């Protein structure tokens, strides 16, 4: 993607990653050893054709969406945990 962006005078993040992956897999499937400069140049041109739009205002908050639960994590097998509950009762809530 970096080489395709350089040839097209674009930034690499302006190119579609999904499109690049699809082209790469198809190119690799076409046969082993097809790595000459002419075919690579054609691949880079195809990669540079699909650009992504500018996504202004696209900001994701860096926070956890879900609240922490008041119960401990299940760190052993479920059948062993059930047996412990039968013998000792349910564990106390965490605060």
Structural domain boundaries in the chain: 2-49
Per-residue pLDDT at 78: 92
pTM over 0.75: no
CA gap 57, 54 in Å, rounded: 9
Instruction: Give the model confidence (pLDDT) of 13-25 as tens digits.
Output: 889 999 999 998 9
Average pLDDT over residues 34-57: 83
b (16+ CB within 10 A) / e for 35-54? eeeeeeeebbeebbeeeeee
Average pLDDT over residues 49-62: 77
Per-residue pLDDT at 48: 92
Say if residue 94's pLDDT is above 70.
no
């Amino acid at each position: 993607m970096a080489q395709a962006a350089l040839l097209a005078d674009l930034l690499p993040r302006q190119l579609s990653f999904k499109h690049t992956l699809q082209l790469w897999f198809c190119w690799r499937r076409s046969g082993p050893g097809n790595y000459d400069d002419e075919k690579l140049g054609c691949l880079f041109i195809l990669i540079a054709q699909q650009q992504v739009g500018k996504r202004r205002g696209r900001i994701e908050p860096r926070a956890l969406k879900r609240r922490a639960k008041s119960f401990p994590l299940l760190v052993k097998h479920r059948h062993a945990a059930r047996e412990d509950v039968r013998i000792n009762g349910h564990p106390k809530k965490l605060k």
